[in-house]
């Protein structure tokens, strides 16, 4: 298995632009998690899905952030409009029975 796949690996965009991050979980996993990591705030859970259904989105910073999981093999995290404080590394993780497996992350820089 290729593991969790995220794209793009790096994204540089200007403030106000829309950003879409993509994730392909490990085949057969039924839970998917989006995290954000910064030096200041550490690792933060943004939202997670179970069987493609959003379970808890309380970690989503504000309405500019949205996430979807249209099927078991794909999820997106969208930021519209983006702001410089959104600059971070965004991780996607998937799991089946407890331990989560993380993707390589997308490093987002908003200028």
Partner 1 sequence: AQSVAQPEDQVNVAEGNPLTVKCTYSVSGNPYLFWYVQYPNRGLQFLLKYITGDNLVKGSYGFEAEFNKSQTSFHLKKPSALVSDSALYFCAVTILSGAGSYQLTFGKGTKLSVIP
Residue 45 binds partner 1, judged by CB under 8 A: yes
- Cα separation, 91 vs 103, whole angstroms: 6
Residue 105 binds partner 1, judged by CB under 8 A: yes
Residue 48 binds partner 1, judged by CB under 8 A: yes
Residue listed under structure tokens 């990591």: 37
28: left (phi over 0), alpha (psi -120 to 50) or beta: left
Applying CB under 8 A, which part among 16-24, 69-77, 78-86, 100-108 lies near partner 1?
Answer: 100-108
Whether 87 and 17 have beta carbons less than 8 Å apart is answered as no
Contact footprint for partner 1 (CB under 8 A): 4, 30-31, 33, 42-43, 45, 48, 50, 55-56, 91, 93, 95, 97-105
């Amino acid at each position: 298995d290729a593991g969790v796949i995220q794209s793009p690996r790096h994204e540089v965009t200007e403030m106000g632009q829309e950003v879409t991050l993509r994730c392909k979980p490990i085949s057969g996993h039924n839970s998917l998690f989006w995290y954000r990591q910064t030096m200041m705030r550490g690792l933060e859970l943004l939202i997670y899905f179970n069987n493609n259904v959003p379970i808890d989105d309380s970690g989503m910073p504000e309405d500019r952030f949205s996430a979807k999981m249209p099927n078991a093999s794909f999820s997106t995290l969208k930021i519209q409009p983006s702001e410089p404080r959104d600059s971070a590394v965004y991780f996607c993780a998937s799991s089946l029975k407890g331990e989560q497996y993380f993707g390589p992350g997308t490093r987002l820089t908003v200028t």
